[in-house]
Amino acid sequence: MLPPVNEATDGIRIRPGSLADAPAVLDMLDRAVLWMNNRGNTEQWGTTPYSQKPGGVARVERYMTENAPYIAELDGAPVGALVMDSGPSPQMPIAPVEQPERYVRLLVSDRRHAGLGIGAALLAHAADETRRAGVELLRVDCWAGGGGELVEFYKRNGFTPTDRFLSGAWPGQVLARRVEG
- Comparing 159 with 112, the larger pLDDT belongs to 159
- The predicted pLDDT at position 76 comes to 94
Output DSSP code: residue 3. P
- The predicted pLDDT at position 95 comes to 78
Residue 151 and residue 117 in contact, taking contact as beta carbons nearer than 8 Å: no
Please report, for residues 15, 26, 63, 169, the alpha-carbon distance to residue 31 in angstroms, rounded to integers and kept in the order given.
Answer: 22, 9, 18, 24
Return the C-alpha torsion angle 63, 65, 68, 71, nearest 10.
80
CA distance 108 to 113: 11
Tell me the pLDDT tens digit for each residue of 98-150: 999 999 999 999 988 988 999 999 999 999 999 999 999 999 999 998 888 99
pTM (2 d.p.): 0.91
11: exposed, middle or buried (Cβ count in 10 Å: 0-12, 13-18, 19+) = exposed
Domains of the chain, earliest start first? 6-178 (3.40.630.30)
- The predicted pLDDT at position 90 comes to 81
Bridge-based pairing of strands 160-167 and 137-143 is: unpaired
Confidence bin at 93 (pLDDT 50/70/90): confident
Tell me the pLDDT tens digit for each residue of 13-67: 999 999 999 999 999 999 999 998 998 888 888 899 999 999 999 999 999 999 9
Confidence bin at 8 (pLDDT 50/70/90): very low
Q: Does residue 1 have a pLDDT over 60?
A: no
If you average pLDDT over residues 55-83, what whole number do you get?
96
CA distance 41 to 146: 8
